[in-house]
Chain A
């Protein structure tokens, strides 16, 4: 990017790099690189060809393919210059290498980002043509600067850790193109940081960094589900639930036996207050029953004539009818043609339209109701429990899908902390193109209906009751996503999956996931994060961890600027923008660091 503040949007242009010898015109294929330039909004994929003429002293940058109307826009990034005009080549390491040419008249050409490696090979070839003198060896001071600014690596100070970071950052982009042997990676690094020793045995790959930052991931034990007798012990003679925090804790740790669910879910979902007595609950249920049937009567009593003039109601009804016929039909409760379960599912969803006509019915909601109705086996109770669950899930289904977008952005913030190499890898696969929500889009179904389609029916019940305890932190379901991705990241990166393959791979995890294993890992990740002292503000915000406001917290906020600014409402549109700008400014920030300048003599 010639100037970071030229425009808000960034885009990627992929291409090749070639060095062409003038006499034989042989072109050496160098590796793909992705050129991030600040650009328009549209997806513009062009192929840039950089042709370097040896002794002709011409570096010629050519764009080969068309394919869109933006050829003119792209052409403005083409350049050519005389090698004798070249003053310096700047090589920066920001997870991948980035080369900038600076001319003697002071012009800086657009930066070329070698997302998939190859910069060293390019420089080697250039070295054969011209003499390049390295003038800057004080990489360490520069790197340390980086760690001060980088919220995820603030704890790093020592020299060896710097090595780790760069080792890590450098290695991932290489994975996609071709796996480099470790020695070669070390060579590459050695070139970036002269005089640096890399101990490969002790520090293989990116794991080192995450562990160094976050500390070890604790061992987590789960227990068996809460049985009826145990549940009964928590009730006093009038039916109030005592010692709620402890009860929630055991539910979080082991879930519930199926027999307990019908009662316990009503408390977990907030339909029954924990401190209510049997009597109070009876009254509440009576009142809620009346309220339910009042709303049910509203749609039941709409005549055909009326419905003809009410397109929204008609649309909701038709969607519900179609979806009810396609929800969990292999479950005993909903199978067969005239199963009463189907009628209940339909009626509750129709009544929910009356309860919240603005939202009405959106695809996916039947998936959320089905397990609740299955457990309650009662129309009214199931409705009110569903209402509570929908309070939480509402935003996922709203017109602009703000809830989904927010969650995807929050997830990416967490992943940056937990699996930075995976994030880098995903960026290279093109997941950055739809910058807001395209990123991590493969988690869409997970988030929209809370893993309902990913797990076996019984496992969904377990996961949901565990999440409804609200333990051990806010947005625990995002850590569940992280846990699954953590288990899959190596596969994704080793197999060098592209955009399509990743989506397919994640989609096909459905029904192959082990719920207990996932819960153990998610909890361990949560504890690991909680144990981390220098947690980025954005992460503690998402997980609701910073209950204590210390003066240092305020300082931290100002230091990170917009990126880490505390958010009041997760519904606000700004939140998303902020976190996204987080990503970018982070990127831009790091461009100031870890760089090596080479001058040509």
Chain B
């Protein structure tokens, strides 16, 4: 998913899924992140919506994030799996004011892991977002519970966010991108190693053939 390097400058294109139950604020999160705006009256997503965010990560890296905002309703889910393909990371959103959506988020994570994985077989990096944190009070217990859940379910981390009040939106995305970039570097290295191993194997078989 990464682009070519030119004079030491690299451009990456990553596909990031935004998933979670119905009405937890996925589209609002994306709009806040991409346009830095909050809309009270957004349409229900049918199928998928797309947004692009360009990040100048550092002086020699540019990241283009293709955000796939996927419809949350149960019945539409089966077909929506098609959208998971070739994604590099995921933001799994739940609504802090609605406890059942956390269970939903865990289901989404489970489904995500069963559908896509990195080349090395590990799950793709996913961040758990506890959205609408402006509407509820944060308590310690909640934090430790989320911490535990992250470890159990394989999230790389969690954030309390508010698309409405613009809390932690950039931070959460940045955290995910950092991990995606790391994975990307690792997989490049692994591929190089594989290539070397193959070459060795090939030269061995070559010599035996002669």
Contacts and interface: CB of A to CB of B under 8 A. Distances in A.
Interface of A: 20, 22, 25, 49, 51, 53, 56, 58, 60, 62, 64-68, 319, 322-323, 325-330, 362-364, 366-367, 397, 399-401, 404, 430, 433-434, 437-438, 441, 444-445, 448-449, 453, 499-500, 503-504, 507-508
A507 B82 contact: no
Interface string B180-210: 0000000000000010001100110110011
Contacts of B44: 322-323, 326-327, 363-364, 366-367
Contacts of B198: 49, 62, 64
A322 B86 contact: no
Given A322-B22, A326-B41, 14 more contacts: A56-B210, A64-B194, A65-B194, A322-B23, A327-B44, A363-B75, A367-B44, A401-B75, A434-B81, A448-B46, A448-B76, A499-B86, A500-B66, A500-B86
A329 B82 CA distance: 30
Contacts of B150: none
B85 interface: yes
A279 B75 CA distance: 43
Contacts of A362: 73, 75-76
A322 B15 CA distance: 28
Contacts of B81: 434
Contacts of A64: 194, 198
A53 B209 contact: yes
Nearest to B27: A326
B79 A51 contact: no
B50 A504 contact: yes
A63 B204 CA distance: 17
A366 B42 CA distance: 14
Interface in B25-47: 41-44, 46-47
Contacts of B121: 66-68
B15 A500 contact: yes
B167 interface: no
A20 B209 CA distance: 14
A438 B202 contact: no
Contacts of B43: 326-329, 453
Given A51-B202, A56-B206, A326 B46 contact: no
A367 B46 contact: yes
Size range of the chain B interface in the assembly = 35 or more
Contact of B82 (A22, A327, A441): A441
Contacts of A503: 48, 50, 83
A507 B203 contact: no
B48 A437 contact: no
Contacts of A500: 15, 66, 85-86
Interface in B58-90: 66, 71, 73, 75-76, 78-79, 81-83, 85-86
Given A22-B209, A56-B210, A326-B44, A397 B75 contact: yes
Contacts of B174: none
Contacts of B120: 66-67
Nearest to B76: A363
Contacts of A453: 43, 46
Nearest to A442: B47
A267 to B, nearest CB: 29
Contact of A504 (B66, B73, B75, B202): B66
Contacts of B210: 22, 56
B10 to A, nearest CB: 20
Nearest to A324: B44
B78 A401 contact: yes
Interface centre among B23, B44, B199 (most CB of A within 10 A): B44
Interface of B: 15, 22-23, 41-44, 46-50, 66, 71, 73, 75-76, 78-79, 81-83, 85-86, 117-121, 194, 198-199, 202-203, 205-206, 209-210
Contact of B202 (A20, A363, A397, A499): A20
A363 B71 contact: yes
Nearest to B52: A504
Contacts of A507: 47-50
Contacts of B23: 322
Nearest to A20: B202
A367 B50 CA distance: 20
Contacts of B194: 64-65
Nearest to B87: A500
Given A64-B198, A65-B119, A22 B206 contact: yes
A77 B45 CA distance: 42
A323 B43 CA distance: 8
Contacts of B15: 500
7 closest pairs, A vs B, by CB?
Answer: A329-B41, A363-B73, A445-B47, A56-B209, A322-B23, A438-B82, A326-B44
10 contacts: A49-B198, A65-B194, A67-B120, A326-B42, A363-B75, A366-B44, A367-B44, A444-B79, A448-B76, A499-B85
Nearest to A325: B41
Contacts of A60: 205
A51 B49 CA distance: 43
B93 to A, nearest CB: 15
Nearest to A362: B75
Nearest to A363: B73
A95 to B, nearest CB: 23
A364 B80 CA distance: 15
A399 B119 CA distance: 34
A45 to B, nearest CB: 9
B77 to A, nearest CB: 10
A363 B82 contact: no
Contacts of B85: 430, 433, 499-500
A438 B46 CA distance: 16
A327 B83 CA distance: 24
Contacts of A437: 79, 82
Contacts of B199: 25
A503 B15 CA distance: 13
B54 to A, nearest CB: 15
Contacts of B205: 60
A289 to B, nearest CB: 30
A25 B75 contact: no
A404 to B, nearest CB: 7
A20 B210 CA distance: 15
A316 B3 CA distance: 46
B86 A363 contact: no
Nearest to A328: B43
B82 A434 contact: yes
